[in-house]
A and B are shown apart, each in its own frame.
Chain A
């Protein structure tokens, strides 16, 4: 045990207020299946970290452990070890996908519940409930019952109910999954805004990559019970360390390549199997330097690919491809190309409708070498 860390008895009530959360060596097993491999995760005070991954990846298990107990490892809020503290004494706020509002209580009573359980009485309680309903824009709905409200409103009540006690940690379990697309996007910004204003340490579980990128300070990508990569949305998106992370967050064009060596700027020189093109790429994992002659995968985001029509007689620049389709998507266009030697088509997003190429044209595909990420297969 680290010096200065107090182990609390299960009866101690934690002081509320934003605290850093530290999860170390935490694991969980259900029957014979290992739901969670020993996992370490640090969340700074006031930070919003999202746990992102497909269903069954252990993200919900991780969240539930913060409100429950792991098979091994420790959970700390600030300097306090809460591993053995009962969930009702951890000072948590939680929002579920199903809202889980108390159907027999009005909005006001729902929000007041946590304060009631903490012994906050009378005027102080009403004041804090009213203030919180104001923050979530539901002041005029105080006397309604949950069943009389829309999904978005119910979710805001759930958020208010979780926040009114000024929790040390806020847990959001797929909070927006039950809402329709437009409302979901609006609520992403709204929750983000409230979370920032109140400065509450937050863990968000989601399977929606867009939601994770929009709302988080940092994203933790999980798969099969272990944490694959954690970082800012930007760094995870542009420098995925593995093929799984690259594919899970957005679309990537993947090319099989053979490593040749390193260039003068420390990048890896590779040769594309399909076209024989020799180019450089940055390794997804900065600590990784593959030895020459190794089969790897090159990942390039569709929006990082540019193209122009290939003029007859011109020597090829970049990768030679045939344009198959152009699809208008409003703010951008999706172009699909066939490259000789590649089974799956190459996809590029382009903001302008120009670039002079039509369906059936031969084009030169190009990209900046810093945007090409090399991944171990």
Chain B
């Protein structure tokens, strides 16, 4: 009897409507996204389209739409720059990964009290402009800078300026800027690996090294992919470091674009190079989503 009464109550409580849609609980309206969409269209999509249009129609592209693109790929100089861009990014990514993984592992597994301090040290540099930080590195690595002064006090000769100014400093600079992104990509993924899983591997006979190789590393793949792609793309797009620390010895795509826009004012060619970079970035993102969806397949 009492259950029958309850049933009646239940149906009275929900008059007519059988299911509630998410809309009933929504706080925001789709219209609210309008300013953001407008801004993106005006400041991003339109210039991008304009750029693409120019690179296909202006100057020497008037007769041959793909003139500039063909030039980038077939001209040995520009092909070299393209290769240099990719190789710098590749080396930066590998070094970043090697330097960041131990930090990420320590942060996820061992840091207790030092945790917030390490996180602060990782994030704090992001609050300063890249230019300021690169300038700082330039001062440290200058001919009579901090590094050489320190080496001098321990009676080690100064590092020759040819080494200080050039690829070495550029790598130091880019890696310095990008390491936080790698660490912050990997740490949460390692954190999600249950310690008991590694413990199981040890009890099943795997030593520390084999546990890392067979269990920890494969399970942190997702973070590694994300971090690597992020760092690779950001390195692809960086040019301030090359300009300030490279002494003209490291010429990558963005450096060339910067020169084309500001020095030669060849906007059509610069646009074509920009689009090349954009295509490379899109390919990177595609690879990332492919790798991650594959590593997620068992779940």
Give me the interface of A with B, judged by CB distance under 8 Å.
67, 86-90, 92-94, 96, 98, 100-104, 106, 113-114, 117-118, 145-148, 161-162, 165, 171
Least CB distance, B172 to chain A, in whole angstroms: 35
By a CB distance below 8 angstroms, the chain A residues around B163 are none
A25, B33: Cα distance in complex, Å: 68
Given A96-B196, A100-B196: A161 and B299 interface contact (C-beta under 8 Å): no
Give me the interface of B with A, judged by CB distance under 8 Å.
194, 196-197, 199-207, 210, 214-215, 218-219, 221, 295, 298-299
A103, B214: Cα distance in complex, Å: 12
- State whether B298 touches A88 (Cβ < 8 A): no
Some 8 contacts from A to B, beta carbons below 8 A apart, are: A96-B196, A96-B199, A100-B196, A100-B197, A101-B200, A106-B298, A145-B298, A147-B299
Q: Which residue of A lies closest to B199 (CB)?
A: A100
Q: Which residue of A lies closest to B218 (CB)?
A: A104
- State whether A102 touches B197 (Cβ < 8 A): yes
Given A98-B194, A147-B298, A147-B299: A117 and B204 interface contact (C-beta under 8 Å): yes
Least CB distance, A105 to chain B, in whole angstroms: 8
List 5 tightest A-B contacts by C-beta distance, closest first: A145-B298, A117-B205, A114-B204, A100-B196, A94-B203
By a CB distance below 8 angstroms, the chain B residues around A101 are 197, 200
- State whether A93 touches B299 (Cβ < 8 A): no
A113, B206: Cα distance in complex, Å: 9
Pick the contact of B204 from A98, A113, A145, A148 — CB < 8 Å? Answer: A113
By a CB distance below 8 angstroms, the chain A residues around B219 are 102-104
- State whether B201 touches A102 (Cβ < 8 A): yes
- State whether A117 touches B203 (Cβ < 8 A): no
By a CB distance below 8 angstroms, the chain B residues around A93 are 203-204
- State whether B214 touches A113 (Cβ < 8 A): yes
By a CB distance below 8 angstroms, the chain B residues around A90 are 203
A141, B88: Cα distance in complex, Å: 47
A89, B208: Cα distance in complex, Å: 12
Question: Considering residues A93, A96, A146, which has the most beta carbons from chain B within 10 angstroms of its beta carbon?
Answer: A96
A165, B204: Cα distance in complex, Å: 8
- State whether A92 touches B203 (Cβ < 8 A): yes
Least CB distance, B195 to chain A, in whole angstroms: 9
Question: Considering residues A88, A90, A162, which has the most beta carbons from chain B within 10 angstroms of its beta carbon?
Answer: A88
Question: Considering residues A67, A87, A106, which has the most beta carbons from chain B within 10 angstroms of its beta carbon?
Answer: A87
Given A117-B210, A147-B299: A100 and B205 interface contact (C-beta under 8 Å): no
By a CB distance below 8 angstroms, the chain B residues around A117 are 201, 204-206, 210
By a CB distance below 8 angstroms, the chain B residues around A98 are 194, 196
By a CB distance below 8 angstroms, the chain A residues around B204 are 88, 93, 113-114, 117, 161-162, 165
Q: Which residue of B lies closest to A100 (CB)?
A: B196
Pick the contact of A88 from B196, B206, B221 — CB < 8 Å? Answer: B206
A119, B269: Cα distance in complex, Å: 60
By a CB distance below 8 angstroms, the chain B residues around A162 are 204
A148, B218: Cα distance in complex, Å: 19
Q: Which residue of B lies closest to A118 (CB)?
A: B205
By a CB distance below 8 angstroms, the chain A residues around B202 are 87-88
By a CB distance below 8 angstroms, the chain A residues around B295 are 104
By a CB distance below 8 angstroms, the chain A residues around B201 are 102, 113, 117
Least CB distance, B224 to chain A, in whole angstroms: 13
- State whether A165 touches B218 (Cβ < 8 A): no
- State whether A100 touches B200 (Cβ < 8 A): yes
By a CB distance below 8 angstroms, the chain B residues around A96 are 196, 199-200
- State whether B200 touches A145 (Cβ < 8 A): no
By a CB distance below 8 angstroms, the chain A residues around B199 are 94, 96, 100
By a CB distance below 8 angstroms, the chain A residues around B299 are 103, 145, 147
By a CB distance below 8 angstroms, the chain B residues around A88 are 202-207
By a CB distance below 8 angstroms, the chain B residues around A67 are 203
By a CB distance below 8 angstroms, the chain B residues around A165 are 204-205
Question: Considering residues B197, B205, B299, which has the most beta carbons from chain A within 10 angstroms of its beta carbon?
Answer: B205
- State whether B298 touches A114 (Cβ < 8 A): no
Least CB distance, B243 to chain A, in whole angstroms: 43
Pick the contact of A100 from B194, B210, B214, B221 — CB < 8 Å? Answer: B194
Pick the contact of B200 from A94, A106, A118 — CB < 8 Å? Answer: A94
Known: A93-B204, A103-B298, A106-B298. 7 other contacts (CB 8 A): A88-B203, A96-B199, A100-B194, A102-B201, A114-B205, A117-B204, A118-B205
